Structure 1
Amino acid sequence: MLCVSRGLYGLALLSLLSLESLAVSSVGPSNSSSSFCTESRECLQFDLICRTHEYEVRHYSSSRWVSTDAEAYFLGVGAAMAFRRLYHYISGANEEGVKFEMTAPVLVEVPEEVKMWEPAIYTLSFLLPSAYQERPPTPTNDKLYFTDMPDMDVYVRSYGGWMLSITSRLHAHLLNRALTRAGARYNHTHHYAVGYDSPLKLLNRHNEVWYVVEGEPVCGSDPTDAP
């Protein structure tokens, strides 16, 4: 009986450790093959499923983020308001007084249905470092909260330059049009505006638009399989 109990305890411990390793597997070093991060040590990792000349399909494992909402007429204004709150959090404005470095990318959830002349609610999220994916410091600002992103496949369109309201909407529209042509199903309620670079970086910037896949991902008529 004792041997059986020890065996069950060992299996339970192994399962727990496996779950913890899965929880942090989505955050890894920025020098990995699946990284567009050039200014941070850790980056959100992904598996490339397929690629067309108009978009990519990626798989992301579950991950934890710290988030906040901002009401604004333009994405840039809302993102700036929310960014300050989140930056204060990683700079020590938490109950533990912990300071940690920025990760990448930064996500902005952008609602699709916005009435003309009414502000939208933008949700900005910072990826938590691998060391804090399981037990993140508690925010002192009650406008901050944690978001657990599930395993998901996403359609991705990449572009350079600056992630402004007009450019983000333009590339969301172009991705939307490409997915419609391909007969792809995806979440129409919102898309993600995704930025990898600090405002101080002037050249070789990388931004993305994401739509979350519904059902089986579609690679179009001429996919290029992931290596």
Structure 2
Amino acid sequence: MTLTVCVYFRVYFSGLVGLLLILTAEARVGNSSESHLCTESKECLLYDLVCKNDDYEVRHYDSVKWVSTDEECYFMDKATYIAFRRLFKYITGSNKAGVNIDMTAPVTVKIEEKKKMWASSVFTISFLLPSDYQMTPPQPTDEKVYFTETPDMKVYVRSYGGWMMSLASSVNSMLLKRQLDNVQATYNKDYHYAVGYDSPMKILNRHNEVWYMVEGEPVCPTSS
């Protein structure tokens, strides 16, 4: 009798833990109605606002999974064009399950901080996996496509409108770095993210961001 009860509770507890893990994985990939940033996709990457001032904000993101690919180029624009098409094929059936996967927002581009002016860089472009595929996404058929997972993290965020082109992204990353350095904030200086929320078909009210990962305690004075 005692053994039966122990087995029952072990199975029950294991199932409960599994359910909690699934809920946790889906918790921060949610309905786009919960975010003003996502206007075209069903699901969006959700976050908690830590603090905000006139120059930037600090956000907290839970760990989530992405489908990613790398492209080495001199300019982000060309790398993004090539990589976007590769990832789009994955979500439109070029995967081992042959399933179509809903597009989400945002799309991120991980950019190395260049040490030399005219050196090429490896850009990592990522699509956020929808909540239904956060745990078990279908395997890619293209060997250049793989899965990544961003950690539980805080990021410094600067927002801007228009199109996420190389020049605009570079200018805004430079401005954000200057603002962070002015307040002696510590952040990862090896790379940053260019982040886009809109499809090419959207013309007005576009939204883009630059992210730097916080190191240590975030600094967010009311004015800088």
* TM-score normalised to structure 1 length: 0.95
Residue pairs, 1:52-71, within 5 angstroms = 52-71=53-72
Shift of residue 117, structure 1, vs aligned partner: 2.1
- Return the match for 1:19 from 16, 21, 38: 21
d(CA) in 1 for partners of 2:7 and 2:95? 41
Residue pairs, 1:1-227, within 5 angstroms = 1=2, 2-32=4-34, 34-222=35-223
Shift of residue 4, structure 1, vs aligned partner: 2.4
On the 8 A contact 2:49/2:57 being kept in 1, the answer is yes
Residue type of the alignment partner of 2:120: P
Identity of aligned residues (%): 54
Shift of residue 221, structure 1, vs aligned partner: 4.5
SS in 2 for 1:14: helix
d(CA) in 2 for partners of 1:175 and 1:96? 41
Shift of residue 21, structure 1, vs aligned partner: 0.9
d(CA) in 2 for partners of 1:152 and 1:143? 26
Q: How many pairs align?
A: 222
Shift of residue 24, structure 1, vs aligned partner: 1.4
SS in 2 for 1:87: helix
d(CA) in 1 for partners of 2:198 and 2:133? 22
On the 8 A contact 2:60/2:155 being kept in 1, the answer is yes
d(CA) in 2 for partners of 1:191 and 1:121? 12
On the 8 A contact 1:114/1:120 being kept in 2, the answer is no
SS in 1 for 2:71: strand
d(CA) in 2 for partners of 1:113 and 1:202? 31
d(CA) in 2 for partners of 1:20 and 1:29? 16
The C-alpha deviation readout for 1:124-153, integer Å capped at 9, x for no partner, is 000011111111011000000000111100
Shift of residue 8, structure 1, vs aligned partner: 2.4
d(CA) in 1 for partners of 2:50 and 2:36? 15
Residue type of the alignment partner of 2:68: S
Residue ranges of structure 1 left out of the alignment (5+ in a row) = none
**What RMSD over aligned residues (CA atoms) do the two structures have, in Å?**
1.2
